[in-house]
Chain A
Amino acid sequence: MLKQNIVFIISFGIVLFLVGFGIYHPEILNSASTALHQWIIDVFGWFYLLSAFFFLVFSVGLAFSRYGKIKLGMDYEKPQYSYFSWFSMLFAAGMGIGLIFWGVAEPISHYMSPPEYLEPYSGQAAKFAMTRCFFHWGLHPWAVYIVMSLSIAYFSFRRGMPPLISSCFYPLIGEKIYGITGKIIDILAVFATVFGIATSLGLGALQITSGLAFVFKIPDSLFVTSVVIFCVTVMFMISSMTGLDKGIQLLSKMNIMIAVVLLVFMLAAGPTSYIFNVFTSTLGEYFSSLLSMSLTSNPFQGYEWTRSWTLFYWAWWIAWAPFVGLFVASISRGRTIREFISGALVVPALLTFMWFSVFGGSGLNLQINEGVNISNAVVDNVSTALFVLFSHYPASSLLSIVAVLLLIVFFVTSADSATYVLAMMTSGGSRTPSAAKKIAWGLIVSAAALILIMSGGLESLQRMSIAAALPLVVIMLLLVWALLRGLIYELKEKKS
């Protein structure tokens, strides 16, 4: 019993300890996490860049290789979910809430504070802003997720191992995956997931509160944030109990539908041709400078900018990879490697590009052509940027309500899938983890988010989560090796 729950006990203990530490000594946690985070980004920033680029090249290469035909499951298996369900769940777990948060704020932020070699508020800065948004949210994050999820899906559905990150290491370390090495890998994944989701939950709750304050003039207070977290927790717990096939799938479909409705409305009501111009030219710029953006850390000028944006994002995607990877793997059974990679790489990236073009493009249009100062809202409170944009559109209140609703649903979906993944990771990879574990993780994640908002330690937790990305990069590089070993072995077997 103890052996079965060792990952749960240790990771739960570590999380409790760090959250407790964050409550009683927020300043120590803050300075320690800042120093650690700073050091990692400073020393290993280039490593993140190279690794993320390598994951992208590897994913594309694998999709077009002879291994692309191999199924993530037995040869006779068919995909469990339809394309629409699959894409909805992919998108909701991988990006979702972040896009709503940053859809307007990030392009505006880059436009007003680009690296020092660009003139702020210039045409060049606007072009740079849009291209970088595509870059940060485009192919690379999905390549990172693909490496993780593909390995887990291959080893669990094709090779019959439990769906855990440690399982993927069987070709490299054999039976040791059941020992300390395997447990450390799984604990690290739990650690990154808990802190990532707690931070996301906290930041999302703050944005929902801001949205409610903006629309309904409800005071933007700690009490309201607590109520939001409580409500969201109850909702995702209920959804979590219904399981993957009902709750998460339903919520994800709702998400994507609301998101598409919002997107189409903004496209129609906003400067449509301007948005399409932004989309087309940014897409061209993105693809033509993909290689240089992927490998440029700007060591001579603008390193600070790269560090605070690109490297931060790369570390963040990597820290999220265990959660998204496990979740995406669990919904991808029965697809071929080629189908999986092309689907997970192209469709969410295209939707993301469209989202940024519509919301970022509309924001930039207001700022540049209409003389509306959206940048002030971004400086004041990043989470209100979207609502400020809506205020210049017809039916702005309705739009804001829909956006808050979208935020809540995305939120519940992310928290729900994270709870499911955490319970799965701490139940030896069981696809039907116990309700008790889901509740335990749900409560700890929500409590951590709330307590850390109160004590001011939320960002410290985010930095701790990002610090976990460093060992995760190494783990992911080894996953690539293990996956290749597995695939090569399989084709050799077939030939012989």
Chain B
Amino acid sequence: MLKKVLFPVKGKESPLKLMEMAGFLKIFNTESISIVNVGSGHKDRTQSFFKELKSNFTNLGFKVEIINRQGQVVEEILACARESRASFICFAYKRKSPLKRALFGDITTDVIRLSDVPVFVYKSPPPFQKSQGVNRVMYTTGLSDNDIKILDYLKSRELKADRLLLFHAGERAPDPAAEAARTETVYSRLSSLEAQCMGSFSHIETRDVVASSVTQSIVRQAKKSSIDFIIIGKSDRPSPFQMMIGSTAETLPRKASCPVLIIPGIYEGIIAMDQQAPE
């Protein structure tokens, strides 16, 4: 399902980190990488970087192609993803100060917001976790229709991880009785998800927390459970408030301390497939 990745590269990234990231992609069983470089204008300087990157990735067993594009970065990345029929887009996360983000924007966030295909944001795990490999996956569910789509990814045999944490962070109900009912409903739905994922992981855990900030609670929980990477669905219909300050899926990669895979909403996927169908 995640066989073909589109990998936007500026040419300024640390080769070591990129190699680390490529290594990580192995857990998705990814086979080919399309490296895309949009309009740097310094072809001579970056050419050698891309050549070296291509040979390194090839050595890791990937099929690699390099695409050079000119134009508006986010638009070109999305167009490339559509044209090359990439299964997902991958970014190596680079921290940006809030001021820089406010002034110049953030390509990763924009792509997450606009993309119809999954977006994977790679963040180097903390040093003590690196040696342990990728073992624990956390799926933060909103218990929405998106689960159907994301279950396909979780159940896919290509995803190589042993332990799965099905996590839900929600707002407290308005009264104790409603809260008890809410907790019961959430756990029953988490159990149903657990049952569906049973064959794909050796150990599955479910957890629900009440949180005023969903993003913060996901980050805290991921740290607490030493999660290696997080899977999250993106809402099809963000609220006006989310549109203003960014949805959980958009802000999570920035705040999490491990890689995050963002899977677009079920309806976006359908629309995207419909649009691709005539081709």
Residues of A with Cβ closer than 8 Å to B? 155, 159-161, 170-172, 174-175, 482, 485-486, 489-490, 493
Contacts and interface: CB of A to CB of B under 8 A. Distances in A.
11 contacts: A155-B174, A160-B175, A161-B176, A170-B172, A170-B175, A170-B179, A174-B172, A482-B174, A485-B171, A485-B174, A486-B174
Q: Which 3 pairs show the lowest CB-CB distances between chains A and B?
A: A486-B174, A159-B175, A159-B174
Contacts of A171: 171-174
Contacts of A174: 172, 179, 210
B196 interface: no
Nearest to A159: B175
Given A172-B212, A174-B210, A489 B173 contact: yes
Contacts of A489: 171, 173-174, 178
A175 B177 CA distance: 12
B175 to A, nearest CB: 4
Nearest to B173: A489
A490 B177 CA distance: 13
A163 to B, nearest CB: 13
B211 to A, nearest CB: 11
B175 A155 contact: yes
B188 to A, nearest CB: 13
A486 B178 CA distance: 10
Interface in B229-254: none
Interface of B: 171-179, 210, 212
Given A155-B175, A485-B171, 10 more contacts: A159-B175, A159-B177, A161-B175, A170-B172, A170-B174, A170-B176, A171-B172, A172-B172, A174-B210, A482-B174
B192 to A, nearest CB: 15
A159 B177 CA distance: 8
A489 B174 CA distance: 7
Contact of A159 (B171, B178, B210): B178
A327 to B, nearest CB: 22
B136 to A, nearest CB: 29
A207 B109 CA distance: 66
A490 B171 CA distance: 12
Given A174-B172, A485-B171, A489-B171, A160 B212 contact: no
Q: Which of B178, B210, B212 has the most CB of A within 10 A?
A: B178
Q: Which of B171, B172, B177, B179 has the most CB of A within 10 A?
A: B172
A493 B176 CA distance: 15
A160 B174 CA distance: 10
Nearest to A168: B174
B148 to A, nearest CB: 15
A492 B180 CA distance: 17
Contacts of A160: 175, 177
A325 B136 CA distance: 51
Nearest to A173: B172
Contacts of A159: 174-175, 177-178
B8 to A, nearest CB: 37
Q: Which of B172, B174, B177, B212 has the most CB of A within 10 A?
A: B174
B174 A490 contact: yes
A217 B167 CA distance: 78
Contacts of A161: 175-176
B225 to A, nearest CB: 23
B172 to A, nearest CB: 5
Contacts of A493: 178
B179 to A, nearest CB: 7
Nearest to A492: B171
A485 B175 CA distance: 11
Contacts of A490: 174
Contacts of B176: 161, 170, 175
Nearest to A154: B174
Contacts of A155: 174-175
Contacts of B174: 155, 159, 170-171, 482, 485-486, 489-490
Contacts of B173: 171, 489
Contacts of B171: 171, 485, 489
A168 to B, nearest CB: 9
A486 B210 CA distance: 14
A155 B179 CA distance: 13
Nearest to B174: A486
A94 B168 CA distance: 44
A279 B128 CA distance: 76
B245 to A, nearest CB: 16
A236 B101 CA distance: 64
Nearest to A488: B171
Contacts of B212: 172
A288 to B, nearest CB: 30
A153 to B, nearest CB: 13
A82 to B, nearest CB: 29
A145 B174 CA distance: 21
Nearest to B178: A159
A493 B178 CA distance: 10
Contacts of A486: 174
A170 B180 CA distance: 13
A292 to B, nearest CB: 28
A183 B109 CA distance: 43
A482 B212 CA distance: 11
B213 to A, nearest CB: 13
A124 to B, nearest CB: 43
A394 B171 CA distance: 64
Contacts of A170: 172, 174-176, 179
Q: Which of A171, A172, A174, A485 has the most CB of B within 10 A?
A: A171
Contacts of A172: 172, 212
Contacts of B177: 159-160
A465 B174 CA distance: 30
B82 to A, nearest CB: 33
Nearest to A174: B172
A379 B126 CA distance: 75
A174 B174 CA distance: 9
Nearest to A161: B175
Contacts of B179: 170, 174
Nearest to A483: B174
Contacts of B175: 155, 159-161, 170
